Amino acid sequence: MTMLPPPTSKKLGLVIDLDICVGCHACAVACKEWNDGGQFGPLPDANPYGAEPLGVWFNRVHTYEIEPKEKGAPAMTVHFPRSCLHCETPDCVTVCPTGASYKRAEDGIVLVDEDKCIGCKLCSWACPYGAREYSEQRGTMQKCTLCVDRIYNESFEEIDRQPACVMACPTRARHFGDLGDADSAVSKLVAERGGYDLMPEMGYKPVNKYLPPRPRRDGCAAEPTPAQEEKVDFSTSPLLRWIDKVLSR
Amino acid sequence: MRPAFSVIFFTVMSGCGYGLLFLFGLALAFNPAVSGRIEGLVQLGVGAIFVVAGLLASTLHLGQPQRAWRAFSQWRSSWLSREGVASVASFMPMVLIAGCLWRGADATTLRALGALLAAFAAITVICTAGIYTSLKAIPAWHNRFVLPGYLLMALLGGAAWSWLIGEWTGGARAQPALIVALAIASCVLKHFYWRHIDAATPASTIETATGLGRFGRVRSVEAPHTEENYLTHEMGFQLARKHGKRLRNIALLLLGPCTIVLALLAITFQAPLHWPAACCAFAAAILVTAGLFVERWLFFAQAKHVVMLYYGGARMHDA
């Protein structure tokens, strides 16, 4: 059914901290690895070990450089993971002619039922975020599942019931939770850090939020100050005084 | 957007087919005696062949064509689904009219069925346009010029074929004067459409796409992958940008001046000889169809998808 469900109270999604993402692509690799073997896999590649491999990834990490508005301010480099934002009112769901593309009423996750997908690619045309990639090998559309086969998986320890990308991030730049609950850790993080939507002008109301890089510390742009001679008080220890004397020769 | 031949063939041929069927249905609604048995059946048959060829071609675009029947289910939200339902529904009046023409029927029935056929043909082309106009992520399609464009191009293509069939069978046909009017209207509309997509200020930029515009001007320094992926392959099609201007002129030349000159020649040399008009009609049908293919190729190839903003500093305007 590709009609959107009534607005869901539970909105599972990700919060991505652009301040601390180091662009290591671990999230993207972990995603590919989990989903290749998970319930929505495989994610086959054409020519995987050849010159031009081509295959579906649910998560892609871009790197941008920002030329600041103020003259002389340092340029910023921002690593930017991009995946499905599990929008509240996405067109990728409503354009689907078969009912394969759907948004879950219980938690808002947007999924593709690969047994119904005819591979018309229209949903990927409708998504401005590039969240959907078509698999030439499978003849169907594939996308981020928010690791729906992990987060409810009772054979896992509670702590492991998180998306693979969140588990893999070495800098804890990715957070998973219910963005429909104002008291959840992720909602508080968004409120505190001014988390924002990508392309709000499209009107799809993404659930996933991005946390902006923090302002650079003062002095970053200033001329480096000449190194000052350290003044150390060695008067208390004769041994240190002797070492200082020897090394200072 | 990558111009997939299957989709171009589908939209052009089913457009011509429905244009033809619309004109034939309308003619029947106004004058049930407009067409003899064989002449009418040929009009219907050619229209149906174009439509079926288009629909079959569209299934070549699918990854799982054996499941195509599922596409009739989501007409409440999806223009693609509506298009499928409307196109199949349009076969009902087609079959009934064929039966009536074959066996003979009263004028009121033919009038009603003709009107129904015209309505279904129009609705189907509106749904085809809806597939494209509903995509906000592709500003070149999500604008007010696209629906009238699809309708006019379908009418022009249908009229050209109707004229040819009429010349050939001696039955009802679109008059060359109508073709001149449609050709002029099509060229004017395409001119304004191209001017619009070239000049429109895009709502989305790499700054809104990343949300980083508050810090300054954003530029991609490293893509997520070294080789192509589905997105860059499907939505980052570049070729048309190079020859765009020339191809636009070719489309305009074929749909406009060439067609108009042929129609005027036919009007001038109508009597007493038959063959000059028939030759003109034949050339016009071929040239209009060729023009529609170029126009449709450009419609895809020159449409830029917002997602490509993530892949570069390229603004929607940059070549």
CB B176 within 8 A of CB B267: yes
Spatial neighbors of B190 by CB under 8 A, at least 6 apart, are: B149, B248, B251, B252, B255, B295
Question: What pLDDT, in 10s, does the model give residues B25-49?
Answer: 999 999 988 888 889 999 999 999 9
Q: CA-CA distances (angstroms) from residue B182 to A36, B157, B168, B177?
A: 53, 9, 21, 9
Mean pLDDT of B258-276: 86
Task: Select from A55, A69, A139 the Cβ nearest to the Cβ of B64.
Answer: A139
Question: What pLDDT, in 10s, does the model give residues B137-154?
Answer: 999 999 999 999 999 999
Domains for chain B: give ranges and CATH numbers. Answer: 5-311 (1.20.1630.10)
| Chain B interface disruption, residue of A201, A209, A210, A216, most B CBs within 10 A | A201
* C-alpha closest to that of B125 among B99, B158, B100: B158
DSSP state of A196: B
Evaluate if residue B318 carries a pLDDT over 50: no
A18: nearest CA partner in chain B: B212
Domains for chain A: give ranges and CATH numbers. Answer: 12-211 (3.30.70.20)
Mean pLDDT of B79-89: 96
Contacts with B312 from chain A: Cβ below 8 Å: none
Evaluate if residue B297 carries a pLDDT over 70: yes
Mean of all residue pLDDT scores within chain A: 92
B213: nearest CA partner in chain A: A66
Spatial neighbors of A25 by CB under 8 A, at least 6 apart, are: A61, B224
Task: Select from B137, B204, B217 the Cβ nearest to the Cβ of A67.
Answer: B217
Mean pLDDT of B74-94: 96
Contacts with A55 from chain B: Cβ below 8 Å: 229
**What pLDDT is stored for residue A218 in this prediction?**
55
Question: Hey, what are B315's tokens?
Answer: 């603004």
pLDDT-wise least confident of A148-152, A217-221, B216-220: A217-221
CB B230 within 8 A of CB A55: no
Cα end-to-end distance, chain A, whole Å? 82
d(CA B44, CA B9): 20
Name residues 133-152 of chain A within 8 A of B (Cβ). Answer: 133-136, 138-140
Side-chain half-sphere CA neighbours of A234 within 13 A: 10
CB A82 within 8 A of CB A208: no
φ and ψ at residue A73, rounded to 5 degrees: -70, 150
Is A221's Cβ below 8 Å from some Cβ in B?
no
Is B219 in contact with A140 (Cβ distance < 8 A)? no
Q: Identify each DSSP E strand in chain B by its residue range.
A: 216-222
How far is B139 from chain A, CA to nearest CA, in Å?
Answer: 11
Q: Which residues of A171-191 are buried (b: 16+ CB within 10 A; e: fewer)?
A: eebbbbbbbbeeebebbebbe
User: Other C-beta atoms within 10 Å of B72: how many?
Assistant: 15
Side-chain half-sphere CA neighbours of A227 within 13 A: 2
What is the ipTM for the molecules in this complex?
A: 0.92
Question: What pLDDT, in 10s, does the model give residues B7-17?
Answer: 999 999 999 99
Task: Select from A97, A134, A213 the Cβ nearest to the Cβ of B78.
Answer: A97
Question: Hey, what are B153's tokens?
Answer: 């191009």
pLDDT-wise least confident of B77-81, B238-242, B276-280, B311-315: B311-315
Encoded amino acid at B58, one letter? S
Task: Select from A53, A55, A95 the Cβ nearest to the Cβ of B78.
Answer: A95
Question: What pLDDT, in 10s, does the model give residues B153-200?
Answer: 999 999 999 999 998 888 888 889 999 999 999 999 999 999 999 998
